[in-house]
Amino acid sequence: MTRIPVMPDEWVDRCRVVRFRFEGHAFEGLAGDSIASALWAAGQRTQGRSFKYHRVRGILSAANHDVNVMLQDGPRLNTRGDVVALREGMDLTAVNTFGGLAQDRARVLGLFARFLPVGFYYKAFHSKRLFPKWERLFRRITGLGVLDFDTPHIRTPKCYDFCDVLVIGAGPSGLAAALSAAGAGASVVVVDENARAGGSGLFQLGGDEARRLQTRTLLDKVRTHPRIRLLEATCAAACYADHWLPLIDAERMTKMRAQAVVVAGGAFEQPAVFRNNDLPGVMLGSAMQRLIYRYAVRPANRAVVLTANADGYRVALDLIAAGAVVAAVVDMRAVVPSSAQLDELSRKGVELLAGHAVYEAHAGLDGELAGATLCRIDAAGAVVPGSLRRVDCDGLAMSTGWAPSANLLYQAGTKMRFDDLLQQFVPSRLPEGVFACGRVNGVYQLDARMADGRRAGAAAAAHAGCGTAVDITVDAESESPSLAWPVVAHPDGKNFVDFDEDLQVKDFENAVQEGYDNIELLKRFSTVGMGPSQGKHSNMTALRILARLTGKSPQQVGTTTARPFFHPVPLSHLAGRGFSPQRHSPLHGRHAALGAVFMQAGAWERPEYYAVAGRSRIDCIRAEAGRVRSAVGLIDVGTLGKLEVRGPQAAEFLNRVYAGRYDTMPVGATRYALMCDESGVMVDEGVVARVADDVFYFTTTTSGAATVYRELSRLNVEWKLDCGLVNLTGAYAAMNLAGPASRAVLAQLTDQDLSSQAFPYLGVRTGTVAGIAARLMRVGFVGEWGYEIHVPAEYAPTLWDALMTAGEASGIAPFGVEAQRLLRLEKGHLIVSQDTDGLSNPFEVGMDWAVRLDKPFFTGKRSLQIIRKMPLKRRLVGFHLPENHTGQVPLECHLIIADGDIAGRVTSIAWSPNVGRHIGLAFVLPSMAEPGTQISIRVTDGAMVQAEVCTTPFFDPDDLRQKESS
């Protein structure tokens, strides 16, 4: 528990002392330390409290595979102490304590353990009545960290990258794979989640300097290779389709597209399961080695090594090299294969016990490890009675087995099989372009891992089109790296399988007894593997326990689904700027200067109304509409979709896509256009203008513009008519000059004869307005004499200014979308998608006139022929409220109720100053469509409002305002 002399590849910088606070006390560490290593070096072994029983916890994996040490670092929640680098001035507190780490009041929960059985949450949440109570309690006692709502907003740009071969893991096999792939000519990127590359090759040494040098040599070659980029402290968090992987570093996410992927992620060492295996001081063998070689920290002064593989003997030798006393090496196997390490330990006089296990660990007064009771076990793993014996120790290394870091392989779609000799899942069928090597592939010997890496690297490069795959023989393992049953029973329990969730062996027994005997059910019931470390240290043991309890093989039990992400990814890395386009009309600046309040219309921002100081929104809207009726108004309608179709078969094309008829329409005329889909439902509307014999200019709705253009393009490809389609939506601007004075205003700016004879209603003319080439259409959407003027977008502000100036004497004013909606409602004009829905056909909205069933073909015709034969299910009608109506006013989508049933709904409603009452459109049953029918509308609070069906238009029913006064 102190710093040891300089290690050759240590991460710490001895010249730079880092000061920090932990739980209110001042500490010192070194630059390069993790928080946990600095605390351990300072003798602070208790570093966290467990999630459920609030037991003291220390280092377990030192590799981000557990969350024993979870800390709050200012606004940063759930900082993982075992891997996060120490920073000067950090002020850290353990999460999940009541009154601090040392005196956590919730530690009494451990005494009530038997009242918190497995499936407790499952059962507690079952009752709806008690749910809120339990929820409040759980949120208080199991919270992880405190959210700071003032956390600054961090912008995290995304990065995009490409390579031939992406190697995940920079241990011996990954480094060998990278060199082999790069040697074949591939561009290679190697990522490793650790702060420094080298992996186990630089810390699992068994005191053998040659092993370190082998890895060091590979690493030096990788660093200097011109075709290899080595990204340290970067985690490949997922593996998506076509080799698309998010690479997460401290700053950002990089979206990597690789031609081939080599997974060399190694293996997670797995805890042995015995009573009190969670005391601070009990840790994985590899954790001790990381402390020694990365941070130059002696993990313990007097240690017991519990093992069942060759790795444990190297742990013992590494401990001795770090100056610790190894009290005993306890091997759970009955027969231990001979090895140089065994001989060496024997020479050093270390007590070597075969067929033994740790029965339980003991805590001292400080709650940390002070000793262990050893026992003999039989071939089935059962404790031999009378064989217990206590050993004093302050460190206990667990080195009894591994689980492959196969998460990304599973995500990529790899089929895995359980290898009985290795006691591990290994890939049996890899997806195309995905390769595995090293321990994740079941290869453990150092030389064999490097050979396996060379093989996988060459194969990956070949897949990416560089070189050819080579046949490299990889030696089979001579002994199993994992023990089939690393579990020691104890009547008093507290033998933990999942450290995140405080799950003990008996929890699994109870779960299986309750019938949760399938791995997916067991997981959900017991919550094993559902904690922050997602089962990295617990899933394999849980699977072994389930297999034993159900008499199945691990292969039959199978694994749970591995999903992204491999490690938690900060939300700030995922959040980013939206890429949804927002469009501004070329007149946006004019609108803003006029005080426009903008609203979203499809991708566009459009003026909802123009605000006037001291006047309410609705008053502004009514004033704008009133100006159009009394004088003249100007509205920007440039957001409409504007398309042009040219060619000998342009008319035929329009005949096919719209319900109306356009081949018979003369040049200079416009016609309403209604678009249906194949089922006869109205999907869009607009106006078609015949500009020349073979040139049609037509509009679509604002929100439908992109979809309509795309679909018409497709139809043009499919039909191969002799015509071409151009999208002029952005290229053209359009404004509607409407009102009794509109003709007088326009006349000042154009030579075009504006008389009704020369330019009748629904005509289109090409001319100049204010010197700008323009297309002019006589329209009547708002029910006034009016002109829609289309000009190239860049001239829009000039035209706007010219019209506003010319209209000054007439009292011109701009009007927004809301005023336009009111004006068109007064005329009873529907808006597709406002007054129609995804089921509306033209007949039920009274648009029979727009449908020409006598045409040979148009989209939707066959369906409309069928619909025509059937009785209507509903009708769109006009309605008004009584003139003296007071009280609540219905809103859009309020339901019409008849005899207690839904009989329709309101689609539009507004108070009309010109009609002097509320008017609206509504879908009603056909039986209610007759003018004069009384309808009941249910408003928000459930009250009924009476209304009367009436004819439309509500205002100027004979369209006199659009005609030349006689």
Partner 1 sequence: MKLMTCPINGTRPISEFAYWGEIRPVPDADTCSDAQWADYVFNRNGAPGVKKEWWCHTPSNTWFIAERDTEKDKVLRTWLHGDDK
Site string for partner 1, 248-277 (x = CB under 8 A): -------x----------------------
Closest to partner 1 by CB, 246 or 312:
246
State yes or no: cis peptide before 27, omega within 30 of 0.
no
Would you count residue 78 as binding partner 1 (CB under 8 A)?
Answer: no
Could you tell me the smallest distance in angstroms from the CB atom of residue 720 to partner 1? 7
The rounded distance, in Å, linking the Cα atoms of 11 and 618 is: 68
Closest to partner 1 by CB, 484 or 715:
715
Could you tell me the smallest distance in angstroms from the CB atom of residue 819 to partner 1? 35
Closest to partner 1 by CB, 151 or 865:
865
Closest to partner 1 by CB, 280 or 842:
842
The rounded distance, in Å, linking the Cα atoms of 895 and 581 is: 35
Closest to partner 1 by CB, 200 or 841:
841
Would you count residue 524 as binding partner 1 (CB under 8 A)?
Answer: no
Query: In this chain, which stretch among 86-94, 140-148, 241-249, 685-693 interacts with partner 1, using CB under 8 A?
Result: 241-249
157: tokens are 């740009």
The rounded distance, in Å, linking the Cα atoms of 335 and 350 is: 17
Max Cα distance, the chain (Å): 122
Would you count residue 225 as binding partner 1 (CB under 8 A)?
Answer: no
Closest to partner 1 by CB, 630 or 707:
707
Closest to partner 1 by CB, 587 or 708:
708
In the list 112, 115, 149, 857, the residue contacting partner 1 (rule: CB under 8 A) is: 857
Would you count residue 852 as binding partner 1 (CB under 8 A)?
Answer: no
Query: In this chain, which stretch among 371-379, 638-646, 856-864, 957-965 interacts with partner 1, using CB under 8 A?
Result: 856-864
Would you count residue 873 as binding partner 1 (CB under 8 A)?
Answer: no
Would you count residue 936 as binding partner 1 (CB under 8 A)?
Answer: no
Confirm if 870 and 882 have CB atoms less than 8 A apart: no
Query: In this chain, which stretch among 13-21, 201-209, 238-246, 922-930 interacts with partner 1, using CB under 8 A?
Result: 238-246
640: tokens are 């409409």
Could you tell me the smallest distance in angstroms from the CB atom of residue 862 to partner 1? 4
Would you count residue 941 as binding partner 1 (CB under 8 A)?
Answer: no
Would you count residue 155 as binding partner 1 (CB under 8 A)?
Answer: no
Closest to partner 1 by CB, 711 or 948:
711
Which of 658, 603, 594, 607 is closest to 635 using CA atoms? Answer: 607
926: tokens are 């056909």
In the list 125, 162, 240, 849, the residue contacting partner 1 (rule: CB under 8 A) is: 240
Dihedral sign for Cα 143, 149, 154, 160, please. positive
Query: In this chain, which stretch among 855-863, 898-906, 910-918, 949-957 interacts with partner 1, using CB under 8 A?
Result: 855-863
In the list 15, 111, 210, 241, the residue contacting partner 1 (rule: CB under 8 A) is: 241
Neighbours of 519 (CB within 10 A): 23
Could you tell me the smallest distance in angstroms from the CB atom of residue 947 to partner 1? 35
Confirm if 117 and 507 have CB atoms less than 8 A apart: yes
Would you count residue 583 as binding partner 1 (CB under 8 A)?
Answer: no
Neighbours of 150 (CB within 10 A): 6
Q: How far is CA 852 from the centre of its chain?
A: 48
Could you tell me the smallest distance in angstroms from the CB atom of residue 710 to partner 1? 6
In the list 862, 868, 885, 938, the residue contacting partner 1 (rule: CB under 8 A) is: 862
Indicate the pairing of strand 395-399 with strand 282-284. Answer: parallel
Query: In this chain, which stretch among 360-368, 545-553, 708-716, 909-917 interacts with partner 1, using CB under 8 A?
Result: 708-716
789: tokens are 């003027």
DSSP class per residue in 269-332: E---B-BTTTSTTEEEHHHHHHHHHHH-B---SEEEEEESSHHHHHHHHHHHHTT-EEEEEEE-
CA distances for 374 relative to 45, 174, 826, angstroms: 23, 38, 91
DSSP assignment letter at 872: P
Q: How far is CA 577 from the centre of its chain?
A: 14
Q: Residue 555 — φ and ψ, nearest 5°?
A: -60, -40
- Burial (CB < 10 A; 0-12, 13-18, 19+), residue 271, is buried
Would you count residue 158 as binding partner 1 (CB under 8 A)?
Answer: no
Would you count residue 653 as binding partner 1 (CB under 8 A)?
Answer: no
Closest to partner 1 by CB, 115 or 160:
160
Closest to partner 1 by CB, 679 or 933:
679
Could you tell me the smallest distance in angstroms from the CB atom of residue 242 to partner 1? 5
Neighbours of 151 (CB within 10 A): 12
Closest to partner 1 by CB, 402 or 858:
858
Q: How far is CA 259 from the centre of its chain?
A: 24
485: tokens are 């049953």
Query: In this chain, which stretch among 188-196, 236-244, 422-430, 838-846 interacts with partner 1, using CB under 8 A?
Result: 236-244
Would you count residue 866 as binding partner 1 (CB under 8 A)?
Answer: yes
Site string for partner 1, 710-729 (x = CB under 8 A): x--xx--xx-x---------
Would you count residue 162 as binding partner 1 (CB under 8 A)?
Answer: no
Closest to partner 1 by CB, 528 or 723:
723
In the list 410, 653, 658, 709, the residue contacting partner 1 (rule: CB under 8 A) is: 709
Locus of tokens 């609206």: 920
Query: In this chain, which stretch among 10-18, 270-278, 414-422, 861-869 interacts with partner 1, using CB under 8 A?
Result: 861-869
Would you count residue 627 as binding partner 1 (CB under 8 A)?
Answer: no
Would you count residue 574 as binding partner 1 (CB under 8 A)?
Answer: no
Neighbours of 649 (CB within 10 A): 19
The rounded distance, in Å, linking the Cα atoms of 738 and 781 is: 9
H helix or E strand, kind and range, residue 72: strand 70-73
Closest to partner 1 by CB, 216 or 855:
855
Query: In this chain, which stretch among 103-111, 281-289, 705-713, 844-852 interacts with partner 1, using CB under 8 A?
Result: 705-713
Would you count residue 861 as binding partner 1 (CB under 8 A)?
Answer: yes
Site string for partner 1, 672-701 (x = CB under 8 A): ------xx----------------------
Residue 18 neighbours by CB under 8 Å, 6+ apart: 28, 29, 30, 31, 33, 38, 86, 87, 88
For partner 1 (CB under 8 A), the number of binding residues is: 19
Would you count residue 854 as binding partner 1 (CB under 8 A)?
Answer: no
Would you count residue 131 as binding partner 1 (CB under 8 A)?
Answer: no
HEC string for 36-47: HHHHHHCCCCCC
DSSP assignment letter at 669: B
- Burial (CB < 10 A; 0-12, 13-18, 19+), residue 907, is buried
Q: Which residues of 379-401 are buried (b: 16+ CB within 10 A; e: fewer)?
A: eebebeeebeeebebbbbbbbbb
Q: Residue 895 — φ and ψ, nearest 5°?
A: -90, 150
In the list 123, 244, 250, 556, the residue contacting partner 1 (rule: CB under 8 A) is: 244
Would you count residue 849 as binding partner 1 (CB under 8 A)?
Answer: no
Q: Residue 384 — φ and ψ, nearest 5°?
A: -80, 120
Q: Residue 543 — φ and ψ, nearest 5°?
A: -65, -40
Query: In this chain, which stretch among 626-634, 763-771, 832-840, 857-865 interacts with partner 1, using CB under 8 A?
Result: 857-865
HEC string for 573-592: HHCCCCCCCCEECCCHHHHH
Closest to partner 1 by CB, 135 or 722:
722
Would you count residue 943 as binding partner 1 (CB under 8 A)?
Answer: no
Could you tell me the smallest distance in angstroms from the CB atom of residue 409 to partner 1? 18
DSSP assignment letter at 665: P
Binding site for partner 1 (CB under 8 A): 240-242, 244, 255, 678-679, 709-710, 713-714, 717-718, 720, 857, 861-863, 866
